[in-house]
Amino acid sequence: MSNDIILETRNLTKRYGGVHALEDANFTLRRGEHVAIVGDNGAGKSTFVRQITAVEKHSSGEIHFDGSNVEFKDPLEAREAGIETVFQTLALADDLDVPSNLFLGREIFRFKLGPFSVLDRKAMRDRTLEALKTTAVKIPNVDNAIRNMSGGQRQCVAIARTAAFASKMVIMDEPTAALGVQETAQVENIIRGLKERGIPMILISHNLRQVFDLVDRIVVFRRGRIVASLNKDETDGNDIVSYITGVKGASDAAVA
């Protein structure tokens, strides 16, 4: 396996009872590469991501991450290995402020004393402001509980957290699905920032304009199979749509 590849799945398969939600997915992601996964509802996009992040156990197949065959026990282990994910359902604590949410589970301490370690609230706040500024996220007051913020602001906090701690790879599952125009632009800026930092990303999106704007390569899922893997420069919207709808590539499964 080439050292250039950060993630590779081989014959990754997931069955729910008799339903083949994902079949023989062969997928590779290079270091620094941004790949979009597109496809109709129920095409297996989210299922594919859930196998990689170990939210679900795959039925068969292999996942290679950062040079080794991995078998993550739970999403936490995947995160510790360096895969940061923005899930469709936000993983935020509503009653905590922005710095607390950003640093949840990886707090900065003044001094260590087991569970009673004293937090360095100023450092966390400063680093939060820094992270939010570089991502140009609009938050009226970071000391407010997340509960009091709009859906877009909350999503931005979740994405800023992912971007701030991203080490090896980022997965975003429809990060702009519920956002307004301005907020969508902000999220796209965060994604461009990741590209500049050379952090590879898998983006699930229904928005083809966004996909063509942001990524290097587009992988099309249809009925649980990968039917196409196309470089952005060698394809166009019509081409992608014909793959999504099955006009093209209906018979043979492609190798992504």
Q: Binding segment for other proteins among 16-24, 98-106, 190-198, 200-208 (CB under 8 A)?
A: 98-106
Q: How far apart (Å, rounded) are the C-alpha atoms in residues 228 and 221? A: 7
List of residues 6+ apart from 172 with CB closer than 8 A: 85, 86, 159, 162, 191, 201, 202, 203, 204
Site for other proteins (CB under 8 A): how many residues? 37
62-92: buried (b, 16+ CB within 10 Å) or exposed (e) per residue?
Answer: ebbbeeeebebeebeebbebbbbbbbeebeb
Residue 159 near other proteins by CB under 8 A: no
Residue 81 near other proteins by CB under 8 A: no
How does DSSP assign 128-197, residue by residue? Answer: HHHHHHHHT---S-TTSBGGGS-HHHHHHHHHHHHHHH-SSEEEEESTTTT--HHHHHHHHHHHHHHHHT
In this chain, which of 140, 196, 233, 251 binds other proteins, going by CB under 8 A? 140
**Closest distance to other proteins from the beta carbon of 185 (Å):** 11
Residue 16 near other proteins by CB under 8 A: no
How far from the centroid of its chain's Cα atoms is residue 222's Cα?
A: 20
**Closest distance to other proteins from the beta carbon of 98 (Å):** 9
Q: Which is nearer to other proteins, 32 or 193 (CB)?
A: 193
Inter-CA distances, 11 with 21, 67, 227, 252, Å: 13, 17, 14, 15
Residue 141 near other proteins by CB under 8 A: yes
Residue 178 near other proteins by CB under 8 A: no
**Closest distance to other proteins from the beta carbon of 57 (Å):** 17
Residue 123 near other proteins by CB under 8 A: no
List of residues 6+ apart from 181 with CB closer than 8 A: none
Residue 133 near other proteins by CB under 8 A: yes
Residue 181 near other proteins by CB under 8 A: no
Residue 106 near other proteins by CB under 8 A: yes
**Closest distance to other proteins from the beta carbon of 166 (Å):** 15
Residue 185 near other proteins by CB under 8 A: no
In this chain, which of 139, 157, 163, 190 binds other proteins, going by CB under 8 A? 139
Site for other proteins in 19-78 (CB under 8 A): 75-76
Q: How far apart (Å, rounded) are the C-alpha atoms in residues 247 and 70? A: 36
In single-letter form, the type of residue at position 217 comes to R
In single-letter form, the type of residue at position 247 comes to V
The binding site for other proteins (CB under 8 A) comprises: 75-76, 79-80, 90-96, 100, 104-107, 109, 113, 115-119, 121, 129, 132-133, 136-143, 147-148
